[in-house]
A = this chain, B = another copy of it.
Amino acid sequence: MQREELFRKISMENDRKMVLLVLDGLGGLPVNGKTELETAHTPNLDLLAAESELGLSHPIAPGITPGSGPAHLSLFGYDPLKYEIGRGILEALGVGIAVESRSVAVRGNFATLANGVITDRRAGRIPTAQNREIVALLSERIKMIDDAEVRLYSGEEHRFVLVLTADGLSDQLTDADPEATGLPLKYAQAKNEQAAKTARIVNRFIDRLTSELAGQLPANTCLLRGFAKYPAIPSMGELFKLKAAAIAVYPMYKGLAQLVGMEILETGRSIQDQAATLKQHYADFDFFFLHVKKTDSYGEDGDFAHKVAVIEEFDHWLPEILELTPDVLVVTGDHSTPALMKGHSWHPNPVLLKSAFQRIMPAGRRTPGRAAVVAQRSKFCETACARGVLGHFNALDVLPLMMANALKLKKYGA
């Protein structure tokens, strides 16, 4: 039996509530002897850790550094090597574009064409405001190509996203990008027969855009990369029988949550706002994904101190969430983003799981003999998690573990 078939078969609904708190890029590496998590003053997390099961999870596999897309799919219970999310779709999700299953999304650059060759692949990194003006103009003038609806969205500087929607579109196209300056415009090529129609539409779009922008230097043509269809992915409702909601601030995470069928809850920008949103909708769903972005952002910047501060801010508001006493609570990251590395890394995620069915004694029932053991674990950090009772496992198993602890998985076999 395949994994997904198993979950379709054994998952079941009940009233128990599960809360998945994801601090993006949470895991780190030591600087002056301690990781970000070890450095942060986190009395609430530490108290919780002493009463929870701890472990480490690999987002994809040992040694593999994931992007946010695959890392979140894994946390949501979807094999990220099975469901690849194309660059164009991620970009669309990132700017908050709703994409439907018939659509193809692709990343665009405005570029400079002179004397028949591309002289700047980024059109001199035009200001974002100028980009918006150009996109507004083009949106007015290019609404359809053949039977395909054309939608354009501004990104930062020279970047935009193109979404084509029609029946029978394919993403099996080569990039329309010469990849170097001094070369002529490059058109997309169909990789197979089924993609011929899409290639024709895409190349007509390039010609139309270039003709509309004639003379408008430096942005007078475009390059298109990363054609991607919206992946056909079963919803969390279908696969796990969950009524799931997402409380996220950044568009890409809302998009990823939407991709697996979560309802996106309106929320404010602070962790306090997000906790309030969780409280407000607590009765309406049985699975909540709450996403904190800034741990990752500061990690990417190499800003150890601010990453520590976001962890501390999260710790400060944690009691608001604990007050709801969810049946199963997980605190984890999607991947590590050590400030030391200024980027995502392969190091496994710290995982904390609290439920009524755990192998660690809650503090209230602590016995004298166990005091030392508990004391050793009373910090939520990479080192404690490396030695935790959950061991080291794949992040793909986080959701099944949560569901098991929420008694939402029936026995397999008799």
Contact = CB atoms under 8 A, between A and B. Distances in A.
B409 A361 contact: no
Nearest to A252: B414
A116 interface: no
Interface of A: 1-3, 6, 10, 29-30, 32-35, 56, 60-71, 80-82, 84-85, 87, 90, 338, 340-341, 343-348, 357-361, 365-367, 369-370, 373, 382-383, 386-393, 397, 400-404, 409-414
A344 B411 CA distance: 8
Contacts of A62: 393, 397, 400-401, 404
Given A30-B361, A366-B33, A66 B411 contact: yes
A412 B65 contact: yes
Contacts of A359: 29-30, 35, 347, 382-383, 386
A387 B36 CA distance: 22
Given A33-B366, A35-B359, A409 B87 contact: no
Given A33-B370, A401-B62, A413 B69 contact: yes
Given A34-B367, A366-B33, A66 B400 contact: no
A61 B400 contact: yes
A389 B391 contact: no
Contacts of A369: 33-34
Contact of A414 (B87, B367, B411): B87
A365 B341 CA distance: 17
Instruction: Kindly name the residue among A345, A348, A412 whose own CB sees the greatest number of chain B CB atoms within 10 A.
Output: A412
A32 B391 contact: no
Given A393-B392, A413-B69, A64 B383 contact: no
